[in-house]
A = this chain, B = another copy of it.
Amino acid sequence: MSKHNIRLKDIAEELGISIPSVSRALNNKPDIGEHTKKKVFELAEKLHYQRNQFAINFKNQESFIIGVIIPQIVHHFFSNVISGIINEAEKMGYGVMLYQSNESYESELKGVDTFQKSMIDGLIISLADNTFNVDHLENLQEHKVPVVMVDKVNSSMVSSKIICDDYKGAYYATEHLISLGKKRIAHITGSLEPHTTKERFKGFESAIRDYKLTFYPNLIKKCNLVSREEGYITTLSLLAENEIPDAIFCATDPTAIGAIKAIKEKGLRIPEDIAVIGFSDWKMSSIVDPPLSSVSQPDFEMGKKAVELLIKEIQLTRDNKPMKHETHVMETSLVLRESTLGKN
């Protein structure tokens, strides 16, 4: 291979023309002769010229890179969001840098710092559960890096947001249980700090009240990690109550899967004795026994929409135009399976 990469200078010298002329030709500028242009393109092709993006980024002070921070990659919902982000970004000519916070605020700070160093043009973030302070994000905005929040958002932050209607999803899930004739409905909620689980709890509560069912505080249980293990243990404790529930609405699918395990172990029938419904429709939910009913979120679409909004803001920033923030609320849908419907 040649000692150094081909530069405009090399082409210019070989053709005996000036560097700006080569630049103009390769960038298809109008003010360049057809003949010169043709010669330049031919030589560039021959020498395998590749533009030095470092120089261009430096000149324009933009990277065409979007930063993405999510709590975890190994997670059905988030990996789909990322997938949507990457596909859309690619179409728009942007690359995607990824960072996972592992649900840690400190790690999130580090991610923002790393990205700031890499000069991202914009950030898409889904907050860690213990992120309450958003100074790091506002700091980015002040440095003219737009921020779009997805799913786990902070209500006090001024930015565009993509969320899904957790409230309505939870409401419909609960309504579905009620329509099956269930009266003592339990709810396994997550930590109430993230906006999402709080909304799910509120949706549950509203449905119970709207349909004039009794709200049993002892049937509300909290899981911090909303994991399968926690779902299992929590359900066992529910089943140890004097009067057990006849249905459980779980704030996540893993907890619901844990709940199913506990219920089966106790020899109870699903859904006849206890119906179970989850939230997020993880891929694994369709293969548990019985297959789990769940509230499906438009994960891929959320990622796509986030990129759309972000790039719009990046362009406004570049043109020094005033920012308009939008909040997109996306609809969930019920996916009904045997854990509530039974066999046929």
Name A residues whose Cβ lies closer than 8 Å to a Cβ of B: 1, 5, 50-55, 57-58, 61, 63-65, 72-76, 79-80, 82-83, 86-87, 90, 95-100, 110, 114-119, 142-144, 228, 257, 261, 283-284, 287-289
Contact = CB atoms under 8 A, between A and B. Distances in A.
Copies of chain A in the complex:
2
A52 B143 CA distance: 12
Contacts of A110: 90
B118 A98 contact: no
A96 to B, nearest CB: 6
Contacts of A57: 54, 57-58, 119
A86 B86 CA distance: 16
Given A54-B63, A287-B228, A96 B97 contact: yes
A107 B199 CA distance: 39
Q: Which of A74, A96, A115, A261 has the most CB of B within 10 A?
A: A74
Given A57-B54, A95-B118, A284-B284, A74 B65 contact: no
Contacts of A52: 61, 119
Nearest to A260: B287
Contacts of A114: 90, 95
Closest 3 pairs (CB-CB, A-B): A284-B284, A58-B58, A289-B289
A112 to B, nearest CB: 12
B74 A98 contact: no
Contacts of A287: 228, 257, 261, 284, 287-288
A136 to B, nearest CB: 13
A53 B57 CA distance: 10
A116 B73 contact: no
Contacts of A1: 142, 144
A50 B95 contact: no
A50 B52 CA distance: 24
Given A54-B57, A96-B98, 15 more contacts: A1-B142, A1-B144, A50-B143, A52-B61, A53-B117, A53-B119, A73-B79, A74-B79, A74-B83, A79-B79, A90-B110, A97-B97, A228-B287, A257-B287, A283-B284
Contacts of A97: 65, 95-98
Contacts of A80: 74
A86 B100 contact: yes
